[in-house]
Structure 1
Amino acid sequence: MTTPQYYRTLAWLESFLVDIDAVVIGVCEFESVQRFDKERLESALQQCINHHPNLRLNIATFTKPYYFFQTKQSCSTPTYIELESKDEWQRIVDDELNTPFEFNNEAKGLLKLFVLYDKDPTSRRQYLLLKYHHSIADGTSGMILLNTLLSCYFNRDQKLSTLSSLSDSETLAFPQVTNEDEKKTEDMIQTILAYKRQWKPMIPYEPATGRNLTIYHHGTPENMAQLLNRCRQEKVTIGSVLLTSIYFAIAELVKDTWLHDASSYFSNFKFDLDVNLRHRYPSPLDRHEHIGLHIGMMTLNEIVISRETKFWSLCRVIFNDLQRNLSEGRHLTYLRANRLTSTDEQIDEQTKRNDGRINDLNFSNIGPYVFQREYEDLKLKHYYCVGSNPCPSVGTNVILVCSVESLDYVLLHEAGEKNRLIAKSWFDRMVGLTDRVWRQTESWTFDHFLKEST
């Protein structure tokens, strides 16, 4: 076997995503009069690959450090699958989520396209699955790739964004490391070491199975419109509402342990919150430039829930905490501190005791679909971002939220009946609360939430 020609070395986070076989799948549900023309779609896919240099890369993993290399032939052929049942697409996504890419292959890149269509020829529903390795792009990148693909398919004359990779997030986050940066990082390192060395999972689970499964939910356009209006009134964001709903749902899940009487409270729930960094650097990027694999992470300060906690009051606390962390650059510091603590032996030992878990949850509010939703007779109905990072490597569960006309949720969890029941239980409660919370008054509390389920 020949040694592939070196392109560049992978940075720490990229290398980690290779080690855990992290993939992303953009699940695009369309309503259309006609099915995709195979010849046109294959041509559009080739144009998409040619437009984005990242899609022409593969990874040499013979020894560390890993490195990217250019594939010798940058082509890919769509895979067409006829659906036998309404929900078969979910099984296909789960299978692909658990099928790693082939590295060290000079003939294959790190992108695959699947076309799913109903057996009934009169059906207006069809799906595109954009599967790519997480080391070359992030969740929002799937939206950019989809827009490129469809713009090429319909011969739209427009300027297309190009995914560009950065070898290291810290290059922009800390262009010139100051004493203040060092002090912030050191403080964050001590905080991370203190809780990760003793952290125990709060969400119940059964031991790792090595396979991840997904649960989906989409709200309604009416609920999202009402929620947006309520958020404007409360001067908060949908992201802070989602986080408040997560806190309520998890607190209910563990209420027998934490909330055994009126004076008790729930706290110490630890999770990573992904933050889009595209416009949040000390030296901002061009507003039209899209960066693959470029998120920051942060945790919230101590959040406490008792039976008397009011939803909208907690939402404002979380919103203010988010804004403070962003304004102080703590999301960038957390990203850097995580890398610097990644080789800590005590954390490694603790992770092994927790069956490979390092967090309760990873949450990413990817946000709205950022391009047009209609391409001639093709209308994008839902966009789900699936995968991101697998369980349990980054948490016992991973939740991602996008929006087209409504909020589209995905929960990733480990296979196993116990894990499925636990995940579905709190996920259903969380999305149900988010869907209807715009109706709740200022005085509506966690105790009211608990009584709804009895």
Structure 2
Amino acid sequence: MVNYIAKVKETVKASERQQKKEEDKDSEDLKMKMTTADMLIKEELLFTKCLPIIEVLQKNGVPITTTHASPVKAAQLLHTAVQTITDELAMASDSSFVWLRPATDLEDFMDCANKKGLFVTVYGLTLRCGVPLTDTHIKEALQHTFRKVPSLRTCFRKRGDTLWACDMNHEELDFQVTEMKELAPAVESLLHLCFPTTEGPLWCARLLPADAPGRCSRPQLADALPYSRTLLLANHHGIADGTTNMVVTDTFLCVLDNVVTGEPIDDAIQHGKLVAGEESKAILTARVEELMRDEAHFQQLQEDLKKRKIKKKLIPRANPRARDPDFKCQIVLRDLDKETTQRFIKKCKKEGVTVNSGLVAVCDAGIVDFVKDGGLEQDFYSIRGMHTVSMRRYWLGDTSKTLGVHMMPLEIAVSTPTEWRDNFWEYARSVHKVFSQGLQEKDAVMFMASMMGKSTEEDNFAERPPPECDYGAANMGNIDRLIPTEGQQVRLIHLVRFTSCWNAPMHCLFHTLRGCFMYSLTYANDIMTREDAEKLVDKTFDILIAVMQM
């Protein structure tokens, strides 16, 4: 009985303690409600007072959103306003750069890519000169080129939540003389550079030693211009595409010749104009609006595109290798002499295809033979190539001096027969037809349309996807028209281009200079070994020679 009474007493006490806790909690809740109500009243007054200030800031471009704002948001809005004003004042007081305009979607895309060392572009220039080219000659010419070409002064900065293109407004050069004598390792050391986005410069120059063996496509100049140097120019892809880099190259050649000969240089004369490419945006907008008229069809197009992206590509199927998150890009180079180049050009014309279509057909045939050697036997091979197209082709007027990044990839997917040798040029004509139709229909804008739905550009680089195409390609054609400079003392005797890859297993870049064909393959070393890459290029060039006899 005593134990029972004790238990009852303990139960009563426990009940009293619980009741006391609940009463205390109710009291605290009441105080909290009173405090919240008091805060609401105070914040309502605060919001009312700061609203005119916020409206003025909004009219002047300060990104503060008050839509559906409740008084509870007043403190955050005021904090945002004060922080934005502080940032704007700090930026306004910094005279080391000038705000130009909001960055384009493609610039934003490339800036996010470069933060991970992706899509870096490298140009290799081999120069001939009548006198020894010194490090000082090169550095002085680069300084003048920096002053004369606006894209080389471009950097990117955030203004609120928006990325802006800016002019550095101060001179800074990233120039080094490297000890590496071989071109391939020197190029590969630059293919994953992360440039200082906000400060600039978003490009750099590396000069190989004077005794480094240079590539040459103009041996006839050796007697008159006996001295040679090789210079590498690397850049963030957000400031320059192929056309822009050609302007940079030609400006540098002109300036370097003036430096060597002692001619005066006027840095006030600008070479090219940095533009946003509103024409490209208008084309994209019109195309998306057209597609959105049938939303179901547009969604189906995007689904089909997604399926083609995720379908396993030929080289990884034939030679499966483990993916490496720390993969590196490596290169293989090949050239054709002038006579062989001209024979191929004439053959393409005779067969009724462009040189580009002929080369694409050759590259596709090379991939087929390569994967067949790897044991992948099929009657037909679906090869998905992404081919860089300059959007300037759709603009009005002279676009040769328009600077920036104004290119998009055009998807070309043609079924390549395993027995392509039976009628190669008929196959090349089918490639030509698909290419011509894609260019005419402006299908390159589908790349940007496919990016719709991504919440931020960073989403595109959250993780490395499996290869989304079999290869990427960029053909600049005959670049003599873009690099016309032939100096008194300095001549360009070889030029080769590279772009590091990410969502493609390899990039093929090619062009002709002074009548000679120049080709580079940049590949991911977790997709192919160096031996395999060289084997693929060997097959491609063997085919190129062979089809001229077909």
TM range (shorter): 0.7 to 0.9
CA distance in 2, matches of 1:177, 1:299: 16
Displacement of 1:167 after TM fit? 5.9
Amino acid at match of 2:149: H
Asked whether the 8 Å contact 2:386–2:469 carries over to 1, the reply is yes
Q: Which has the greater radius of gyration?
A: 2
Secondary structure (helix, strand or coil) at the match of 1:97 reads: coil
Structure 1 segments unaligned to the other structure (5+ residues): 442-454
Amino acid at match of 2:241: D
1:243 is the counterpart of 2:360: yes
Residue of structure 1 in register with 2:20 after alignment: none
Q: Return closer, same or farther for 1:276/1:114 CA change in 2, 3 Å cut-off.
A: same
Displacement of 1:9 after TM fit? 2.9
Structure 2 segments unaligned to the other structure (5+ residues): 1-86, 214-224
1:17 is the counterpart of 2:77: no
Q: Which residue of the other structure, out of 324, 337, 344, is the alignment partner of 1:220?
A: 337
Residue of structure 2 in register with 1:268 after alignment: 382
Amino acid at match of 1:320: K
Asked whether the 8 Å contact 1:214–1:410 carries over to 2, the reply is yes
Displacement of 1:176 after TM fit? 5.2
CA distance in 2, matches of 1:431, 1:188: 40
Asked whether the 8 Å contact 2:125–2:492 carries over to 1, the reply is yes
1:286 is the counterpart of 2:398: yes
Q: Return closer, same or farther for 1:186/1:142 CA change in 2, 3 Å cut-off.
A: farther
Secondary structure (helix, strand or coil) at the match of 1:272 reads: strand
Residue of structure 1 in register with 2:44 after alignment: none
Asked whether the 8 Å contact 2:385–2:413 carries over to 1, the reply is no
Q: Return closer, same or farther for 1:423/1:316 CA change in 2, 3 Å cut-off.
A: same
Q: Which residue of the other structure, out of 407, 411, 414, is the alignment partner of 2:524?
A: 414
CA distance in 1, matches of 2:353, 2:364: 16
Count of aligned pairs? 422
1:392 is the counterpart of 2:502: yes
Amino acid at match of 1:171: K
Q: TM-score, normalised by structure 2?
A: 0.68
Residue of structure 2 in register with 1:75 after alignment: 172
**Residues 140-159 of structure 1 correspond to what in structure 2 (within 5 A)?**
140-155=243-258
Secondary structure (helix, strand or coil) at the match of 1:117 reads: coil
Q: Return closer, same or farther for 1:303/1:78 CA change in 2, 3 Å cut-off.
A: same
Asked whether the 8 Å contact 1:113–1:131 carries over to 2, the reply is yes
Asked whether the 8 Å contact 1:82–1:118 carries over to 2, the reply is no
Amino acid at match of 1:97: L
Secondary structure (helix, strand or coil) at the match of 2:124 reads: strand
Residue of structure 2 in register with 1:196 after alignment: 306
Displacement of 1:169 after TM fit? 6.6
Secondary structure (helix, strand or coil) at the match of 2:425 reads: helix
Asked whether the 8 Å contact 1:189–1:340 carries over to 2, the reply is no
**Residues 90-129 of structure 1 correspond to what in structure 2 (within 5 A)?**
90-105=184-199, 108-119=200-211, 124-129=227-232
Residue of structure 1 in register with 2:133 after alignment: 36
**Residues 235-384 of structure 1 correspond to what in structure 2 (within 5 A)?**
235-255=352-372, 260=377, 264-281=378-395, 284-307=396-419, 309-332=422-445, 334-340=446-452, 355-369=465-479, 370-372=482-484, 374-384=486-496
Asked whether the 8 Å contact 1:185–1:337 carries over to 2, the reply is no
Residue of structure 2 in register with 1:431 after alignment: 541
Residue of structure 1 in register with 2:41 after alignment: none
> Identity across aligned pairs (percent)?
18
CA distance in 1, matches of 2:212, 2:520: 27
Asked whether the 8 Å contact 2:505–2:527 carries over to 1, the reply is no
Secondary structure (helix, strand or coil) at the match of 1:376 reads: coil
Larger RCO (alpha carbons 8 Å, 6+ apart):
1
Residue of structure 2 in register with 1:440 after alignment: 549
CA distance in 2, matches of 1:120, 1:304: 41
Structure with the larger helix share: 2
Asked whether the 8 Å contact 1:164–1:292 carries over to 2, the reply is yes
CA distance in 1, matches of 2:453, 2:374: 30
Asked whether the 8 Å contact 1:12–1:168 carries over to 2, the reply is no
Amino acid at match of 1:406: C
Q: Which residue of the other structure, out of 153, 161, 169, is the alignment partner of 1:56?
A: 153
Asked whether the 8 Å contact 2:314–2:383 carries over to 1, the reply is yes
Displacement of 1:24 after TM fit? 1.2
Residues 265-316 of structure 1, C-alpha deviation per residue, up to 9 Å, x if partnerless?
22322221111222224xx242443342111322224423132552111111
Residue of structure 1 in register with 2:236 after alignment: 133
1:207 is the counterpart of 2:207: no
Asked whether the 8 Å contact 1:397–1:413 carries over to 2, the reply is yes
Residue of structure 2 in register with 1:66 after alignment: 163
Asked whether the 8 Å contact 1:278–1:285 carries over to 2, the reply is no
Q: Return closer, same or farther for 1:33/1:361 CA change in 2, 3 Å cut-off.
A: same
Asked whether the 8 Å contact 1:298–1:335 carries over to 2, the reply is yes
Amino acid at match of 1:207: R
Q: Return closer, same or farther for 1:279/1:73 CA change in 2, 3 Å cut-off.
A: same
Secondary structure (helix, strand or coil) at the match of 2:230 reads: strand
Q: TM-score, normalised by structure 1?
A: 0.81
Q: Which residue of the other structure, out of 403, 428, 437, is the alignment partner of 2:512?
A: 403
Residue of structure 1 in register with 2:220 after alignment: none
Residue of structure 2 in register with 1:162 after alignment: 272
